[in-house]
A = this chain, B = another copy of it.
């Protein structure tokens, strides 16, 4: 962390997030050991995609080191839905993940919701996203089962926090007050949940996709989000930004370095870097966040594990529904 602190105070340089991931993973490992937990993730892979296989390999290594069992299952795409339902109903499985795309498009959105929100370790189900957008913290009415948050946005928030950008002297909900953030990505997996989370912490967020820019701010009631249309362009938004978050999955997509303010924080979560590496000479550059994302996957798994242990101790039968009823 000393190296990170040095770069942050100098306001330029490239940051390796490994020390941040390590903080979380050590906590998780300790919790698993102390609690004599046996958490298990099942991950479904339906393609030969080299990137997914590589990512699965690193996830397995991290999980195993931290006391978590990670089982990768290669299956046919037409068997996936049944396999997910079997895993939903298997008491020995605490978290389920799927490497997308499987079919692509709306059918993949459907499959995301076949995963029970109670085992949705990546936080990708509509129920978990709806609850995030509406500041609903629990899956059940009795408020015993905590919701999970999508791993990548959660990792991003934790990184921003550990870079010391949150002003903890301000009240909750205002830690990012006065900060402008531009997020180039508005997917339901990362960009939009992240925009809502940072707005919820007080930031003014420009959410950018190919169709334009939408602004996200905290709403009047705590936990609500106000979205507004804007005529500000992507490049104008970047020029105003304290934090720039990049997630365009194309190696050809690069933001013009001259638009980025000196001393800004640039965090890239696309598989490829959406800016020239030379930007580190004038900004704080976080080129990849994958290690912290894996730590958040583990963190979510422990939450789900605890939810499941708790519900088993209070009821004789396990839940088998894929879409739980959220609170409103």
Given contacts A110-B126, A129-B110, contact A324 B325 (CB under 8 A): yes
Q: Which of A19-27, A62-70, A315-323 contacts B (4 or more CB under 8 A)?
A: A315-323
Chain B residues with CB below 8 A from A85, complex form? 328
Residue of B nearest to A192 (CB): B107
Chain B residues with CB below 8 A from A313, complex form? none
| CB proximity of A190 to chain B, nearest CB, Å | 11
Given contacts A78-B228, A78-B229, A227-B78, contact A323 B106 (CB under 8 A): no
Q: Cβ of A130 < 8 Å from any Cβ of B?
A: yes
Residue of B nearest to A186 (CB): B107
Chain B residues with CB below 8 A from A114, complex form? 130
Chain B residues with CB below 8 A from A103, complex form? 211
Interfacial residues of chain A within 287-328, with CB under 8 A of chain B in the complex: 320-328
| CB proximity of A323 to chain B, nearest CB, Å | 5
The residue that A321 contacts in the complex, of B109, B228, B322, B326, with Cβ under 8 A, is: B326
Chain B residues with CB below 8 A from A187, complex form? 106
Q: Cβ of A127 < 8 Å from any Cβ of B?
A: yes
| CB proximity of A214 to chain B, nearest CB, Å | 7
| CB proximity of A125 to chain B, nearest CB, Å | 9
Chain B residues with CB below 8 A from A78, complex form? 214, 227-229
Q: Cβ of A188 < 8 Å from any Cβ of B?
A: yes
Q: Cβ of A35 < 8 Å from any Cβ of B?
A: no
Chain B residues with CB below 8 A from A133, complex form? 81
Chain B residues with CB below 8 A from A192, complex form? 107
Given contacts A78-B229, A186-B107, A192-B107, contact A325 B328 (CB under 8 A): no
Given contacts A78-B228, A324-B325, contact A106 B109 (CB under 8 A): yes
Chain B residues with CB below 8 A from A322, complex form? 130, 326, 328
Q: Cβ of A257 < 8 Å from any Cβ of B?
A: no
- Cβ-defined contact, A126 with B113, below 8 A: yes
- Cβ-defined contact, B110 with A323, below 8 A: no
Could you jot down 27 A-B contacts, CB within 8 Å? A76-B229, A78-B227, A78-B228, A78-B229, A81-B133, A85-B328, A103-B211, A105-B188, A106-B187, A106-B188, A107-B188, A107-B192, A110-B129, A110-B130, A110-B188, A113-B130, A130-B323, A320-B328, A321-B325, A321-B327, A321-B328, A322-B326, A322-B328, A323-B324, A323-B325, A324-B325, A325-B325
Chain A residues in the interface with B (C-beta under 8 A): 76, 78, 81, 85, 103-107, 109-110, 113-114, 126-127, 129-130, 133, 186-189, 192, 211, 214, 227-229, 320-328
* Additional A-B contact list (6), CB under 8 Å, known A78-B228, A104-B211, A323-B323: A78-B214, A106-B187, A114-B130, A126-B323, A127-B323, A325-B325
